[in-house]
Amino acid sequence: MAIHEFFLMLAVLLLTARLFGELASRLGAPSVIGELLAGLVLGPSVLGWVQPTETLMTLAEVGIILLLFEVGLDTNLFRLAEAGRKPFVVAAVGAFLPLVLGFAAGWLLFDTSILAALFIGGTLTATSIGITVRVLDDLMRRRSDEAQIVIGAAVIDDILGVIILAFLYDFSSPKGVSLASTASIALFIVVFMVLAPIAGKIIAWAIDHTDRKLESEGLLITLVISLIMLFSWLAHAVGAPAIMGGFAAGIALSQHFRMSITQRLRLPFRRTLERAFAPRPELTHRLEKQFRPLLHTYTPIFFVMVGVSLDLSAVDWSSARVWLMAGVLVVLAVAGKVASGWFIAEPTLRRAAIGLSMVPRGEVGLIFAKLGLGAAILSQELYAVLLIVVALSTLLPPFALKAFYQRYGDRPELVMRDDD
């Protein structure tokens, strides 16, 4: 692509995302729906003006990494820890139940090969944390108790998804399955997620002290963006999704992380630690203020590119078999995720909110489907079916969540409490 064509495409993409997002908001839908629809309209599904080129997909990756940084910045780890094993239970059920249901449907009902059935199940395991967080943000529910469980579960779900994807990749290769390789990826991811926020906290202390001494305009945001990109590179290097690096960097700079650690250690040198490593509150506020324009610029690119990646023109809409398979898999995809909220001890309405929030597939489900197609494991027909499943399980949950909170959002079990 010529550079001037890229500039034109980027301008059209950003303006269309803003226009469709605003239109969706005025119609009472979450703005993320407008951005996803903008991608469908601009992409090969309708107009064919925008293609999922490597450059645009890289910009989209930057957008989701920045969004996950903001999520980490806003996440109270100890409030998340209060949920105990609940995020792990929700993630495990939400990953493996759809995997088993999708595999059973593909192999037993639709007579596919075992490998194709595994890829069908793998596509159904995914939860797009970016779409989930954005929907909760649009509904002003990101700091709710159920959102804390959902965010934790979605992060764990992403990690499980990478491990399942690595297993399926090995399974589809001529060399066969390497359990040692899959186990090493899992170990590296876990070690990274434990150590990265601690290392990041030390770097955040250095950023804070540098910012106190130097007055260069834009220095703070430059240092923080560099930290995000470094952690994203490290995450990819150990086999984790790059977005986990953004999340870990956000936790490291989070005011909640500092307050929780220093207030709960109960050690003689607690106050010394707090004075030494606590970033100034004004630093966090200034960072959030400087960071928001970047977020508003790059994040919509990610959601538009999710829509662009859905080539619905490849679907044979006249095929009864395609609709039958898609209908069955959509029901299983939604049911498997919604059920995950019912395996934990929470009030009924909170369980329902958690289950609904885990449904969106987005780009994560597409990765499984595209890998299966690229390895000649999925036929064009099965790939078309999975496109429909991903599209419906991405576009419908925001409407369901909005309707749910409009009806039940003022109930006592869904009332939000102060993070502090």
Per-residue confidence band for 281, with pLDDT thresholds at 50, 70 and 90:
low
Share of the chain above pLDDT 70, in %: 83
pLDDT digits (tens, 9 = 90+) for 80-95: 666 678 888 998 898 8
Mean pLDDT of 316-322: 81
Question: Residue 352, exposed/middle/buried by CB under 10 A (0-12, 13-18, 19+)?
Answer: buried
CATH number of the domain where residue 274 is located:
1.20.1530.20
For residue 405, being part of any structural domain is answered with: yes
Domain count, the chain: 1
**What is the model's pLDDT at position 100?**
92
**Whether the predicted pLDDT of 214 surpasses 80:** no
Residues 6+ apart with CB under 8 A from 354: 90, 146, 149, 150, 153, 340, 341, 344, 346
Which is more confidently placed, 58 or 284? 58
Residue 239 domain flag: yes
Rounded CA-CA distance 319/154 in Å is 34
Is 290 within the bounds of a domain?
yes
pLDDT in tens, 115-151: 888 888 888 887 777 777 877 887 888 778 788 888 8
- Whether residue 101 contacts residue 339, with contact meaning beta carbons closer than 8 Å, is answered with no
Q: pLDDT-based confidence at 177, cuts 50/70/90?
A: low
Which residue has better confidence, 14 or 295?
14
Between residues 305 and 284, the one the model is more confident about: 305
pLDDT digits 0-9 by tens, 32-48: 788 888 988 998 888 88
Report which of residues 275 and 380 the model is more confident about.
Answer: 380
The predicted pLDDT at position 16 comes to 93
- What pLDDT is attached to residue 19? 93
Q: Note whether residue 25 is domain-resident.
A: no
Taking the C-alpha atoms of residue 233 and residue 85, their distance in angstroms, rounded to an integer, is 29
Q: Residue 216 — very low, low, confident or very high, per pLDDT cuts 50/70/90?
A: low
pTM for the whole structure: 0.72
CB 368 within 8 A of CB 122: yes
Q: 76 in a domain, yes or no?
A: yes
Domain that holds residue 108: 58-302+324-375+385-414
**pLDDT winner (highest mean) among 12-26, 195-209, 361-375:** 12-26
Torsion sign, CA atoms 372, 131, 72, 356: negative
% of the chain at pLDDT higher than 90: 7
395 is a domain residue? yes
Q: What is the structure's pLDDT at 256?
A: 54
**Would you give the distance in Å from CA 36 to the centre of its chain?**
14
Q: Name the least confident of 230-234, 256-260, 334-338.
A: 256-260
Res 414 pLDDT > 60: yes
Among 87, 1, 58, 45, CA closest to 229: 58
Q: Does residue 83 belong to any structural domain of this protein?
A: yes
Mean pLDDT of the chain: 79
Q: Look at residue 176 in the predicted model and tell me its pLDDT.
A: 55
The CA-based diameter of the chain, rounded to the nearest angstrom, is: 72
Residue 43 maps to a domain: no
